[in-house]
């Protein structure tokens, strides 16, 4: 196969990162849309908060469970094909939701199909790109791509909240469908399969660099994905990372991402103003996650995780007692926002150290599945607690305490030696 040359030499890797950044950004916008649709759906169809919360939790759960299989599928049929298919599924499912009239329609469109589609455009995509295109600066690059979810909130939430407030839930679905479909030509034109496809090596590597080849590139990718889980599940480090990322999802996407706007609504704060609060958090997370990537290249990732989870837990405990004044909410947005996704770069580094560059992305996909299982549990838990108690206070306090627990677990992680022997290199 003749390599197609591209400009910028090794630096073309940054073009790829830019396109993937926007893909991750739009996927984050899709996943955050149910938080602003919750009240309009209740007003349009009379669906209770716990019904829409369960639909959101299905989407979050499948978003996570899809990740490890998507990572293996990227190796088996190609990253470009997997990504393009995922974007098509995301756009089509959002369009189909415009015709929904029953709760199960919401479960199928915004739960099942959007969850599966966006699950392939998630952290595992970023991890695969980092491992394929970079020999150095991996922490910083993963930090930048992880920050795309924060930027997704920053760009999308005020817009879709305004659309929801003025026109209901349908304009939100239309906006998400258009934004997702618009990415397809950029992926087709600007994202090669790997550096060798354009006659290059990984950024920071010398001309003789031979990137690792995943065993998932040949054979049954489903069997390989499950076998990787079986082998990783026999190690203590996997369960420590899985547990901390479960709590990460429980305290971010699941609770705050799904219920903060509704919580603010209960306290008399309008949707657009509450979405502005999430956007402010997005600004500080963009800073915090990028800085976290830089720190991950230089410091012990276990200690970084300990600090991040402790700050998050304390900020969640603080929120119900903040009084929801303008000043107190800004304090919360800064403290919480700085480490919303800051946990991703150190977690990926620990996974690569423990499981190697070849198995690391798939193992990381399973760890991300833990993140989304936690997020799905929190989305359903928050809605259920709201229906049972009439408020969200206890839900946020419990989430804060789990953050403190995750800080302690992080310090127990040990990656000083490989967690398991790598599988034979395929040739």
pLDDT value, residue 1: 39
One domain for residues 194 and 225: no
Are 337 and 213 in contact by the 8 Å Cβ rule? The answer is no
117 is a domain residue: yes
Most confident of 25-29, 54-58, 155-159, 423-427: 25-29
pLDDT value, residue 154: 65
pLDDT tens track for 399-416: 999 999 999 999 999 877
One domain for residues 99 and 246: no
Residue 235 CA: distances (Å) to CA of 242, 341, 407, 412: 11, 25, 20, 13
2 is a domain residue: no
Residue 115 CA: distances (Å) to CA of 12, 42, 231, 369: 31, 21, 26, 12
Last residue of a domain, one of 199, 232, 264: 199
The token pair that represents 153 in the structure block: 């909130």
pLDDT value, residue 150: 65
One domain for residues 287 and 179: no
Distance, in Å, from the CA atom of 5 to the CA atom of 8, rounded to the nearest integer, reads 10
pLDDT tens track for 89-98: 999 999 999 9
One domain for residues 38 and 173: yes
One domain for residues 168 and 266: no
423 pLDDT exceeds 60?
Answer: no
427 pLDDT exceeds 50?
Answer: no
Looking only at Cα atoms, what is the longest distance across the chain?
A: 64
One domain for residues 248 and 288: yes
134 is a domain residue: yes
- Average pLDDT of the chain is 84
Distance, in Å, from the CA atom of 129 to the CA atom of 68, rounded to the nearest integer, reads 14
Instruction: Show the domain range for 391.
Output: 221-417
Last residue of a domain, one of 199, 232, 254: 199
One domain for residues 345 and 303: yes
335 is a domain residue: yes
Any idea what DSSP says for residue 425? P
369 is a domain residue: yes
Q: What is the CATH number of the domain that holds 55?
A: 1.20.1250.20
Please state, as a whole number, how many other Cβ atoms lie within 10 Å of the Cβ of residue 349.
Answer: 23
Last residue of a domain, one of 167, 199, 231: 199
4 is a domain residue: no
As for how many domains the chain has, the answer is 2
Are 409 and 244 in contact by the 8 Å Cβ rule? The answer is yes
pLDDT tens track for 169-228: 899 899 999 999 999 999 999 998 888 888 888 887 777 766 666 655 556 677 878 888
Distance, in Å, from the CA atom of 42 to the CA atom of 22, rounded to the nearest integer, reads 31
121 pLDDT exceeds 70?
Answer: yes
The token pair that represents 343 in the structure block: 């946990």
Please state, as a whole number, how many other Cβ atoms lie within 10 Å of the Cβ of residue 227.
Answer: 15
Q: What mean pLDDT is predicted for residues 261-275?
A: 81
8 pLDDT exceeds 80?
Answer: no
52 pLDDT exceeds 90?
Answer: no
One domain for residues 172 and 321: no
Give backbone dihedrals phi and psi of 203, rounded to 5 degrees, phi first.
Answer: -60, 130
Report the chain's C-alpha Rg in angstroms.
20
158 is a domain residue: yes
One domain for residues 169 and 226: no
Are 36 and 153 in contact by the 8 Å Cβ rule? The answer is no
pLDDT value, residue 7: 65
Mapped to the 3 state alphabet, what secondary structure does 153-203 carry?
HHHHHHHHHHHHHHHCCHHHHHHHHHHHHHCHHHHHHHCCCCHHHHCCCCE
One domain for residues 181 and 255: no
207 is a domain residue: no
One domain for residues 229 and 121: no
pLDDT value, residue 268: 84
One domain for residues 230 and 149: no
């Amino acid at each position: 196969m003749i390599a197609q040359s591209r400009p910028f030499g090794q630096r073309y890797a940054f073009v790829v990162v830019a396109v993937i950044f926007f893909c991750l950004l739009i996927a984050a916008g899709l996943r955050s849309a149910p938080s602003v649709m919750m009240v309009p759906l209740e007003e349009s169809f009379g669906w209770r908060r716990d019904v829409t919360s369960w639909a959101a939790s299905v989407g979050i759960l499948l978003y996570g469970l899809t990740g490890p299989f998507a990572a293996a599928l990227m190796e088996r049929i190609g990253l470009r094909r997997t990504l393009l298919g995922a974007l098509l599924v995301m756009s089509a499912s959002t369009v189909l939701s415009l015709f929904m009239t029953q709760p199960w329609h919401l479960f199928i469109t915004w739960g099942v199909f959007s969850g599966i589609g966006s699950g392939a455009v998630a952290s595992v995509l970023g991890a695969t790109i980092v491992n394929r295109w970079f020999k150095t600066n991996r922490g910083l690059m993963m930090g930048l791509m992880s920050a795309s979810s924060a930027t997704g909130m920053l760009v999308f939430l005020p817009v879709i909240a305004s659309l929801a407030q003025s026109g209901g839930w349908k304009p939100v679905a239309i906006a998400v469908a258009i934004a997702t479909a618009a990415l397809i030509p950029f992926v087709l034109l600007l994202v090669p399969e790997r550096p060798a496809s354009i006659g290059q090596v990984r950024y920071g590597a010398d001309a003789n660099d031979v990137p690792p080849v995943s065993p998932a590139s040949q054979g049954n990718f489903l069997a390989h994905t499950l076998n990787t889980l079986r082998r990783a599940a026999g190690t203590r480090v996997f369960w420590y990372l899985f547990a901390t990322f479960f709590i990460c999802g429980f305290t971010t996407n699941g609770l705050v991402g799904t219920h903060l706007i509704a919580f603010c609504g209960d306290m008399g704060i309008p949707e657009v103003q509450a979405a502005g609060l999430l956007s402010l958090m997005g600004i500080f997370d963009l800073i915090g996650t990028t800085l976290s990537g830089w720190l991950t290249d230089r410091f012990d990732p276990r200690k970084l995780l300990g600090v991040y989870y402790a700050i998050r837990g304390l900020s969640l405990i603080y929120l119900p007692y903040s009084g929801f004044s303008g000043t107190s909410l800004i304090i919360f947005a800064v403290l919480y926002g700085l480490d919303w996704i800051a946990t991703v770069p150190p977690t990926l580094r620990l996974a690569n150290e423990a499981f190697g560059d070849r198995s690391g992305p798939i193992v990381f996909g399973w760890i991300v599945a833990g993140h989304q299982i936690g997020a799905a549990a929190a989305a359903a838990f928050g809605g259920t607690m709201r229906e049972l108690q009439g408020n969200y206070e206890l839900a946020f306090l419990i989430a804060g305490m789990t953050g403190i627990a995750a800080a302690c677990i992080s310090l127990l992680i040990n990656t000083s030696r490989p967690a398991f022997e790598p599988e034979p290199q395929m040739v």
